[in-house]
Every structure is written in C-alpha cells, then in structure tokens.
Amino acid sequence: MKIISLPSSTLIVKKLQGNKWQIEGGSVLKEGKVYVPKNEELRVKIIQLHHDVLVAGYGGRWKTTKLVMRNYWWPGVTKYIEKYIDGCNMCQRMKNGIYIPAEKLHTLCPCPCCL
Ligand SMILES: [Zn+2]
C-alpha cells in the first residue's frame, strides 16, 4: 500500500532528525512502522481493519492499539484509538454491565421434607 508519494515524504524526512525515520517503497517509516499521514479517512480505515473485523473481534483499547502499532504509527495514535473505541457502538453494547447477584436457590415444593 502506497501511503505517501515520494517527493512529499522526502521533504518530511529531511525536516526530521535522527535515523528513526526512513523511506521504503514509497512509504515513510518510523522505527520500522508505516507513518500514516494526517488523513482522517485513512486512519479510521486502519483502525477498522484492526478492530471491526471478526478476526480482530472488537478487541479493547489495548488489543487494538497493539494490533495497529505492529505496523503503523502516527502522532497520538493511542489517543486516537481510544476515542474510536469510545465511540464504537458494538463495544459500548458489549461492555460489562452491573450485575445483581442471584438470590439463593429455594425449593418450590411445600412439603416438610424439602424445606
Ligand atoms: Zn468496538
């Protein structure tokens, strides 16, 4: 997947210091992870692919962040994922509710031997 065209990514890398950044196959990498430019649609799509699919299983913040950050990075990625999951309809419905403890079982038979 081509994330950024080479001329613009070259400019970005030249502005940044250190050898944590590199260009590979038309993508900008930071410490081996693909830098995702400030593109709302693209960032949401990446999170959806790591959260909303059956294989990902609507994992929580930690699991989704771990899956996304295996290959991608952008400034504030963790907060971005948290915000996404807070707004995820499926996750909100699946959250654990407050459970009222069950009462002790009692017999329905009125005879003295069962009481
Ligand atoms: Zn969710």
Find tokens 């900008």 and name the residue.
28
pLDDT digits (tens, 9 = 90+) for 49-97: 999 987 778 888 999 999 999 999 999 999 999 999 999 998 888 876 5
Element (H, E) at 73: strand 72-73
> What spacing in Å lies between the alpha carbon of 38 and ligand 1's midpoint?
22
> What spacing in Å lies between the alpha carbon of 94 and ligand 1's midpoint?
9
Amino acid at 46: I
> What spacing in Å lies between the alpha carbon of 104 and ligand 1's midpoint?
35
DSSP 8-state secondary structure symbol assigned to residue 36 = P
φ/ψ of residue 72, rounded to 5: -125, 155
pLDDT digits (tens, 9 = 90+) for 84-114: 999 999 888 887 655 556 777 777 777 877 7
> What spacing in Å lies between the alpha carbon of 71 and ligand 1's midpoint?
20
Which sequence spans correspond to the domains of the chain?
A: 1-35, 38-89
pTM confidence score: 0.68
